[in-house]
Amino acid sequence: MAQVEMKYRHQRLLEEARNMQMIHQAKQENLIKVSAYVFVSCCQPQRIAMALRRLPGVVKADALLGASEAVLVVEQKSFESLQSLLSTVQSTPGVKRVSVKLAA
């Protein structure tokens, strides 16, 4: 019984090592990105969306009809760079509040 358990553990460790190696390689090649939807409460959503479209990392920016909101789709290489982008969005004149939902 001990040999079967050891063999199972060995296989799991090998699989885990392969997964870690793939993640490391993807990070080295900048294949892993952090994506999020950013909801921006503001006074003039169309103007804000146009201004935020110009920011690096903003994939898409649209004003929402019937609401004082714009929505952004953003993509960054790390959580740190995402946080930096969100700070820039928050400090944009006319922006009242920012709500972020990370994409799975």
- Does residue 17 or residue 77 have the better pLDDT? 77
Q: Is the pLDDT of residue 66 over 70?
A: yes
Domain with residues 34-102, CATH architecture: 2-Layer Sandwich (3.30)
Q: Is the pLDDT of residue 1 over 80?
A: no
| Model confidence pTM above 0.75 | no
CB count in 10 Å sphere of residue 32? 12
Domain ranges within the chain, ordered by starting residue: 1-32, 34-102
| Beta bridge partner(s), residue 37 | 73, 101
Residues 6 or more apart whose CB falls under 8 angstroms from that of 62 comprise 49, 70, 71
> What pLDDT is recorded for position 63?
96
> What pLDDT is recorded for position 99?
93
In whole angstroms, what is the distance from residue 10 CA to residue 100 CA?
A: 41
- Does residue 23 or residue 78 have the better pLDDT? 78
Q: Is the pLDDT of residue 67 over 80?
A: yes
Q: Is the pLDDT of residue 6 over 90?
A: no
